Structure 1
Amino acid sequence: MSRILKFHLPSAVLPMVALACIGAAPAAAETIRAHYVLSLMGLSIGSASASGVVEPESYRVDVSMRTTGLANLVNSTKGAATASGGLTAAGPSPSAYANTTSNNDETRTVRMSLASNAVRAVEVKPEPWDAEMRIPLNEGAKRRIVDPVSALIMSVPQGQELVGPAACNRTISVFDGVTRFDVQLSYSGAHTAQAHGYSGPVAVCSARYTPIAGHRPDSKSTRYMAENRDMNVWLAPMPDAHVVVPIHIDIRTGAGQLVIDASEFQIASRQADRSR
């Protein structure tokens, strides 16, 4: 979920004017720190955390998760991912993405370098054992994309409400190093969310998942998700950056309703670092 809007002075504007603007109004950066509880049919099955900083010309986000309790009796899973890059008028332009996940069977690491929202290099270790059974990825599937972590940051056009339709209505093209898919969000309304550190309005979006490439066409789980019309995400505003980020996600699964809900959600402003 994917674009941060950043204002660019036209290239014809004199550099001295730009410097004057910087001196007169130092740009703000925003930080986010969140903790999420994962539950299935009302039973806690894990936790996740996210932290990051969004600056006028760059961003970095770190995410981690792990299963707990009853879920570990089935398959203990944990993972960590990070993404960083620059901000353009079109949104985040990732430069680096890394993800490591492990369960009872294996540990997989994905590393990608990107430029201009296209993959320059990707390394997946180990490769999926069923790689030959998956729909091939052509070069086009690796362009005009964001990684899964950068996709969590979504811009709202200036002049539009942060909790209105413009917060939701978008299609996000995602590549995770193995699979390429789209997530389409549509505005469903507004709601009030409460978590430690945040109490206020959020945009409620319905979500649809469309697999593009890198998946197995005979996968029951992929087909189930593609046909799933019971997926929702709530987006909370980061007003300085004029972006929204998830505070709540609920998804109907074959095993029941999966809910990812923030128990802590803190957004803070600070002056952007202009020395770098």
Structure 2
Amino acid sequence: MRFIASALVTLAFAGTASLAQAQTLKVSYDLSLAGLPLGKADLVSSFKGSRYEMQGHAKLTGLAMILTGGRGEASASGTLAGAAPRSTRFAVLSKTSENQRSVRMGLKGGQVAEVEIDPPLEPKPDRVPVKPADKKGVVDPMSALIMPALEAKPLTDPVNCNRTIPVFDGASRMNVVLTYGETKSVEVPGYSGPVLVCNARYVPISGHRTERPATKFMQENRDMSVWLAPVEGPRLLFPLKVSVRTMIGVGEMQASLWSLEGDGKASAPMRRAVRADEAIKAGALR
């Protein structure tokens, strides 16, 4: 489950100049697995100048909560410069009814400076060692959700899908490879318009366990996608939906509320709000 949760959070999401004003993006997500409600997640991202800060909270509900007591919180910060965010700090705390684990990581210039995992991961003979080179030129899993525009083109230009995101979560190094799939039109509370649907691939580099069935499954997985919605102020894209086929069904993280606030003023509410998958228009936009 830790790997699946990491994939859901990681999959999803680069130059921009200094931002003209402070803006805050608030997104609430519904989590599901195999069509069954799994829980809720809330993510708040603040952009001021070239700086960004992110705060996230997730909690399982219903039967999943009864069985696991699962909940977690995460934070990240860094700067927006060039074709990708540059992480400076990342922290995550996950709890279940049986245990909890925290990860804290500091980065400088795209390179991991320090990592603290409590309790430490147990040594496993099939775990691929993480090399010093694997900790360079990376972003944390939370900052990976931020995708600044690749070129001076419209944010929903298909070229903005095509990127490779080098992610290090404190224990493992992976690439998330995105390629353009199609453009759709969606409507959720707070946003109505086009989204880029990017196909996604998981490429493990190090820190993973080669003999785990889940690792092999994800390496061969072709049923993963990220839906990216434009955020015009800082000129970036942010996930509206993430879909990942797992060994026990399709896991989804889908926005149920989208709110962009600037200078203390919230965006105007939508007159009508429906779920994104109920409002997809037939075919791709021209």
On the 8 A contact 2:145/2:239 being kept in 1, the answer is yes
Question: What SS does structure 1 have at the residue aligned with 2:155?
Answer: coil
On the 8 A contact 1:164/1:189 being kept in 2, the answer is no
Query: Is the counterpart of residue 152 in structure 1 residue 162 in structure 2?
Result: no
The separation in 1 between residues aligned to 2:218 and 2:38, in whole angstroms, is: 20
On the 8 A contact 2:83/2:150 being kept in 1, the answer is no
1:104 Cα offset (Å): 2.9
Query: What is aligned with 2:186?
Result: 193
Q: Aligned runs of 1:122-271 on 2, under 5 Å?
A: 122-270=115-263
The separation in 2 between residues aligned to 1:175 and 1:234, in whole angstroms, is: 22
Query: What is aligned with 2:85?
Result: 92
On the 8 A contact 1:248/1:261 being kept in 2, the answer is yes
- Per-residue CA deviation, residues 193-245 of structure 1 (Å, 9 max, x unaligned), is 22211111111001000111011110111111111000011001011111000
On the 8 A contact 1:52/1:61 being kept in 2, the answer is yes
The separation in 1 between residues aligned to 2:223 and 2:69, in whole angstroms, is: 26
- Per-residue CA deviation, residues 9-65 of structure 1 (Å, 9 max, x unaligned), is xxxxxxxxxxxxxxxxx8123210011001122211111110011223100011121
Aligned length: 253
- Which residue type is aligned with residue 140 of structure 1? A
- Per-residue CA deviation, residues 141-160 of structure 1 (Å, 9 max, x unaligned), is 00000000110000113422
Runs of 4+ in 1 over 6 A off after TM superposition: none
Query: What is aligned with 1:16?
Result: none
On the 8 A contact 1:29/1:241 being kept in 2, the answer is no
Distance 1:2 1:45, change over 3 A: closer
The separation in 1 between residues aligned to 2:34 and 2:131, in whole angstroms, is: 39
On the 8 A contact 2:17/2:50 being kept in 1, the answer is no
Identity level (%): 37
Query: What is aligned with 1:17?
Result: none
- Which residue type is aligned with residue 269 of structure 1? G
2:60 counterpart (62, 67, 71): 67
State the TM-score, normalizing by the size of structure 1.
0.87
The separation in 2 between residues aligned to 1:245 and 1:138, in whole angstroms, is: 30
- Which residue type is aligned with residue 75 of structure 2? T
State the TM-score, normalizing by the size of structure 2.
0.84
On the 8 A contact 1:2/1:146 being kept in 2, the answer is no
The separation in 2 between residues aligned to 1:225 and 1:32, in whole angstroms, is: 30
The separation in 1 between residues aligned to 2:117 and 2:198, in whole angstroms, is: 32
On the 8 A contact 2:26/2:45 being kept in 1, the answer is yes
Q: Aligned runs of 1:31-70 on 2, under 5 Å?
A: 31-70=24-63
The separation in 2 between residues aligned to 1:84 and 1:131, in whole angstroms, is: 31
On the 8 A contact 1:162/1:237 being kept in 2, the answer is yes
Question: What SS does structure 1 have at the residue aligned with 2:65?
Answer: helix
The separation in 2 between residues aligned to 1:157 and 1:129, in whole angstroms, is: 39
Query: What is aligned with 1:6?
Result: 16
- Per-residue CA deviation, residues 68-123 of structure 1 (Å, 9 max, x unaligned), is 11223442311111000122224321111111111233211111111011000110
The farther-off stretch of 143-152 and 262-271 is 262-271
The separation in 1 between residues aligned to 2:61 and 2:185, in whole angstroms, is: 28
- Per-residue CA deviation, residues 137-182 of structure 1 (Å, 9 max, x unaligned), is 0100000000001100001134222112122100000000011111
Q: Which runs of 5+ in 1 are unaligned?
A: 9-25, 272-276
Q: Which runs of 5+ in 2 are unaligned?
A: 1-11, 265-286
- Which residue type is aligned with residue 174 of structure 1? V
- Which residue type is aligned with residue 155 of structure 2? L
Q: CA RMSD in A?
A: 1.7
On the 8 A contact 2:151/2:160 being kept in 1, the answer is no
